[in-house]
Structure 1
Amino acid sequence: MIENVTKFTNQLDAAARLLEILPKKELVERKTLIICPSFDSVILVDEIARELNLSYEMLFCENISAPNNAECDIASVSETEEIVINDELVRAFGISYDFIYGEAHRKYEEILKQIYKFRKGEQIKSLQSRNVLLIDEGCETGLTAMICVKTLIKLGAKTISYATPLIAADVAVSLGDLVDEIYTTQKIVNFIDVDSYYDEKIPVTNELIMSILLDSPKYLPLQKEQGEEDAI
């Protein structure tokens, strides 16, 4: 049973409500770069980026599932080959680290294909001295957020803030130690899964994602407008 929380109609509704609590003026003045950590979050991120007139970039990462349970993520790897592992689950399931690193290599090959398709084969640029806002459509376990934060630190980000419409309360506590600020409309104690808190999510397909990125003036790798103040 879902606890007493406010559900979102879809990703655009979630974006509108997240915009209500974001420090818009501060983000713009700091020329913040928005980071999108997943294809599922593109609709949300693109809407917020347009409203704030800020550029955004994809940070490609892939989660690694337990060998006998595709629904249970035990680790994550990013495009810079950073890895975050849920050691507690790994020990509980008796999973070997050789398995994890083998899967990480396989997943990295998939990430390279994404980079080629959605960033014209270019590696993500250095974020040295950049203020970054990582935005996700929801945060259940924090695994994706943590691999992104680890990668953003490696890339030299000056500050890292995290924004999501909804987040598991315990994850908010642990993630709060890693980022400068967390912006969320709801911290949920008995978190079920992200989709449970959306009434009618807009279906995410490769065609839709490509269309959004190609048409968006805010997606940094494919920006049509040159010389924007917030571009790297």
Structure 2
Amino acid sequence: MINRDPIFADRRDAGRKLAQALRDEVFDDPIVLALPRGGVPVAFEVAEEFAAPLDLLFVRKIGAPHHPELGLGALVDGADPQVVLTQSVMQMVSPPPGYVDQEVRRQLQEIDRRRQAYLGGRQALPVRGRTVLLIDDGVATGGTVRAALRGLESAGVGRLVLGVPVGPADVVASLKSEADQVVCLATPEPFYAVGLWYRDFDQTSDEEVVDLLAQAAGRREPRGLGQRPAEHRP
């Protein structure tokens, strides 16, 4: 019989356990970025552990003409937004000139709308040269996380760390080439779905996101953690 007992009580519990797993790491002036909405309660606990600023990282799919479910790539939010294109799909679809630029502008407007709703229009924190901890509540296929990591890489982060409570072993292994460090607390087999491993996996509300971001913003100024210089991928 397959054991499917939940590993985490809820996202806050998962965040505390992830923070504990990261506790002994030395991060130089880190920023914690959450993939909304489900990643926010997890990331909040990690940001609290390191007294680090907490921000959101929006990732928006760039759909193909007349087939929006087919992704040409993704737009990754930030102070310097990055477009991550999947060249094999681009070659297959061959979108008309100007199409991608038009879609990028449209998705930027949507990101601005969401940032206004969650953060009152606060601009994204700059990440160039900084240690970034990217946090979500889990990975399944890894598509969104992979785009986010590649966007952050293009934005010039100093050190890139992915932290998730749970994910399938093969996907987690495949993401290790996209970051300096990947921390995943559990890789149960068979995996099935992220929510299966939480006792409470109700959808994170907009109100909870706003509340947690406000709490993080009201916290004292971040303390410096360690003197280790930022590490770079070879």
Partner Cα distance (2:93, 2:190) in 1: 27
Equivalent pairs, count: 219
Note the aligned Cα RMSD (angstroms).
Answer: 3.4
Q: CA deviation at 1:183?
A: 0.7
Q: Report if the CA contact (8 A) 1:84-1:146 is conserved.
A: no
Q: CA deviation at 1:213?
A: 1.5
Alpha carbons of 1:2 and 1:154: their partners in 2 closer, same or farther (altered >3 Å)?
Answer: farther
What's 1:61 paired with?
59
Relative to structure 2, which stretch is displaced further, 111-120 or 76-85? 76-85
Q: CA deviation at 1:58?
A: 1.3
Equivalent positions of 1:1-232 (< 5 A) are 6-22=6-22, 24-27=23-26, 30-63=28-61, 75-79=73-77, 80-85=80-85, 90=89, 97=95, 101=100, 104-188=104-188, 190-214=190-214, 216=215, 218=216, 223-224=217-218, 227-229=221-223
Identity %: 23
1:224 alignment partner AA: G
Alpha carbons of 1:87 and 1:199: their partners in 2 closer, same or farther (altered >3 Å)?
Answer: farther
Deviations 1:96-144 (A, max 9, x none): 646x836554333211112233344344233232111111100112122
* SS at structure 2 position matched to 1:13: helix
* SS at structure 1 position matched to 2:187: strand
* SS at structure 2 position matched to 1:200: coil
* SS at structure 1 position matched to 2:38: helix
- Which ranges in structure 2 are unaligned for 5 or more consecutive residues? 225-234
- Which ranges in structure 1 are unaligned for 5 or more consecutive residues? none
Partner Cα distance (2:93, 2:191) in 1: 25
Q: CA deviation at 1:61?
A: 1.8
Alpha carbons of 1:174 and 1:225: their partners in 2 closer, same or farther (altered >3 Å)?
Answer: closer
1:229 alignment partner AA: R
Q: TM-score, normalised by structure 1?
A: 0.76
Partner Cα distance (1:103, 1:162) in 2: 28
Q: CA deviation at 1:163?
A: 0.7
Q: TM-score, normalised by structure 2?
A: 0.75
